[in-house]
Amino acid sequence: MNEALAWSIIAGYMLLPEITAFDLPVLPAWGKQLVPSLFAAIMCYTMLQMHKAHAAGPAVARAPAQRRDVQRTFSIDDFTVQRGRVLFWVLLLLLFGSPFITAITNREPVSEGFRFISGMRIYDSFSMNLDLLVSLLPFFLARRFLASPESHVTLLKVLALACLAYSLLALWEVRMSPRLNREIYGFFGHSWSQHVRYGGYRPILFLNHGIWVAILFTLGVLASAALWRDQLRHGSAGKWLLASLWLLGVLILCKSVGAIAIAFLLLPMLLFFGARMQLMSAALIAATVMTYPILRGADLVPTDRIHSFFSKIDTDRASTLQYRFNAEDLLLERANQKPLAGWGSWGRNRVSNDSGRDAAATDGYWVIVIGVYGWLGYIAQFGLLAAAPVLLAFNKSRLNLSPATVGLTVVLAAALIDLIPNATTSPVVWLLAGALMGRYQTAVAGAKALNPQAARAGTEPRRSSAAPQEVPAMKPEREAPRYPAHVRRPREG
């Protein structure tokens, strides 16, 4: 079932069209974000009920062999929360409670030039919560059903194999132009000019933009490299290294400088560094992303140095990056006008000029979240997204983390880096975050926490199921000889 869940979310995200959706009243839009997650949730609920119905017991022991084989196919990993319960529920309370504060504090309309946006109502807070629930449904499913180390291996394999299959379509669009969405679904989902670069094309396939395609292949490159590290002990690692190199070549053909830079930054870490360094690096990246608005507002981010670095690579991309930095300054200044719960939906967080047109593009996911939901929503969303690598790094000495789990933190770190310049959050990113959060909450403390001396020696204390044996009574020591009073005692020693 773990593999089916991963394929449902990832394949649905890759193949269904953008923009189009059945927008029914009251209900969320029936589109790409909802359909795969909803049917995956229905599948998981059905399998969970069947697992409970066929739970092991006296009736199972008497069942015929064919029925017992069927019951084994419905086995589901146990989910027992060991830690982090309070933190998780506090983040959920902030996530679904902050929209009500947003609606209460944004009752006034926004009028700028010819643009007029009416004030928010309590109904809008329920709509915002419904959108959040749809977006985070993959997170909740992965937290419950993809929390085990074996599930992490499965998740990495599904992501790598899906990207390998997707690479064939991407290569077709690189050669023939990005028109598969038009050929199959009848429309092109974005601006054509943004997908002509360096004398060729960059693929868009069925995603929102070519940047989304590139960061997806970055995750595939890192997932294949993580599988290579995990499978070294099994002797079947070479194919995953070849898959990583193939996807790296496809990523370069996608012509997205940011995604390529992220891949070249983190791929050597997976190939040449140990688990401790990988986990600490992923935790550092996650912590930086979570605190990025503070660093940006305090002018601690070296934007000038970053711009000069990219100017040496590509002047056009450097100018685009500088435009984004300027837009972030304007959007962050507007967000600071309502820092607690944000401006709300319907574009109230945007910056307009005197005529009412947008004066800054809202590209980075972090600046969108803090402008719409404020600090309350930002802490909730990025806490759920990025807290797991940090918590796993701080508890590494107590938890038995597999190479697949450590590699998954690096894959998630790559996705988190791209959330600073772009809003490339997707069901795949939430799926990775949920799997790591579930692992942190359910991982059992290892031998080092139970018995430090045994852990240092590389052994665990033996536990015997037999009844404790009685300790034989100690024999009394021989009594000292008694001498008459007139006889001198021998000298002792």
So what's the pLDDT on residue 118? 87
pLDDT tens-digit readout, 141-200 = 999 999 999 999 999 999 999 999 999 999 999 999 898 989 998 888 778 888 888 888
So what's the pLDDT on residue 64? 54
So what's the pLDDT on residue 53? 77
Q: What is the mean pLDDT of residues 198-213?
A: 90
Q: What is the mean pLDDT of residues 69-83?
A: 67
Locate 48 and state its tokens: 């969970």
Q: Is the pLDDT of residue 389 over 80?
A: yes
Q: 274 phi and psi, to 5 degrees?
A: -80, 175
Question: What residues form DSSP beta bridges with 112?
Answer: 115
Q: What is the mean pLDDT of residues 226-234?
A: 87
Q: Please give the model's pTM, rounded to 2 decimal places.
A: 0.85
So what's the pLDDT on residue 244? 95
CB-based contact 153:230 (threshold 8 Å)? yes
HEC string of 144-163 equals HHCCCHHHHHHHHHHHHHHH
Looking at every residue in the chain, the average pLDDT score rounds to 84
Q: List C-alpha distances in Å: 139 to 56, 385, 389, 402.
A: 29, 9, 15, 21
So what's the pLDDT on residue 456? 39
Locate 463 and state its tokens: 């536990």
**Start-to-end CA span in the chain (Å):** 76
So what's the pLDDT on residue 377? 94
Determine which helix (DSSP H) or strand (DSSP E) holds 184, and give its type and residue range: helix 180-185
pLDDT tens-digit readout, 304-328 = 888 888 888 778 778 888 888 888 8
Q: What is the mean pLDDT of residues 281-309?
A: 90
User: Coil, strand, or helix at residue 291?
Assistant: coil
pLDDT tens-digit readout, 343-379 = 998 888 888 877 767 778 888 899 999 999 999 999 9
